[in-house]
Amino acid sequence: MHLWDSQTWLMEPQLISKINEEGGLKVLQNLQYSALNRILSTDRLNRMLSTSTTLSGTSLSPDELIEELFSSFYEKTSALDDSKMALQVRFVERIQELQEEKKLNPRIKSTLIAIQRKVLKSAKKLSRSENAIKRNHFNYIKNLVSMP
């Protein structure tokens, strides 16, 4: 289990009811969203590019990080639940925000555009699902990615 997995054990109705009357889904999704924003911050991505370009040895490049996140959210995901669907949407929104960041190295922006194309391709394929919730979700992602 890792950060991007749905923390269903934390959302047991009997447990949540004793702690909070509103439920825990929003809190858990916000924790994941905050982590995603920290990981995909402009400063962090620029530092990663600088480190992978100028220092000897092996380091994680921003391209590898972004590709791994895409893979975790779109390729390696098993059953979709509310948290995973929210992460998929938040990932698309974040890569779109980053493309507008003036301080982000333009070389990283080319990777973001490539990933956005991969998201669109995946969403087109998955939007043909017979499951209405899944179909609607991926149609929404298609619309997000298709927006200029």
Question: How buried is residue 120: exposed, middle or buried, by Cβ count under 10 Å (0-12/13-18/19+)?
Answer: middle
What pLDDT score does 54 carry?
77
2 in a structural domain: no
85 in a structural domain: yes
Number of independent structural domains in the chain: 1
3 in a structural domain: no
1 in a structural domain: no
What pLDDT score does 20 carry?
54
The string over 69-83, giving b where at least 16 C-beta atoms fall within 10 Å of a residue's C-beta and e elsewhere, is bbebbbeebeebeeb
What pLDDT score does 93 carry?
96
DSSP classification of residue 24: S
pLDDT profile of the chain (148 residues), mean per 10 = 49 52 65 90 95 78 94 82 90 96 96 96 92 94 85
Contacts of 28 (CB under 8 A, 6+ apart): 6, 7, 10, 11, 83
Question: In this structure, what token pair is assigned to residue 82?
Answer: 């509310």
Range of the domain at 37: 8-146
What pLDDT score does 80 carry?
83
97 in a structural domain: yes
What pLDDT score does 92 carry?
97
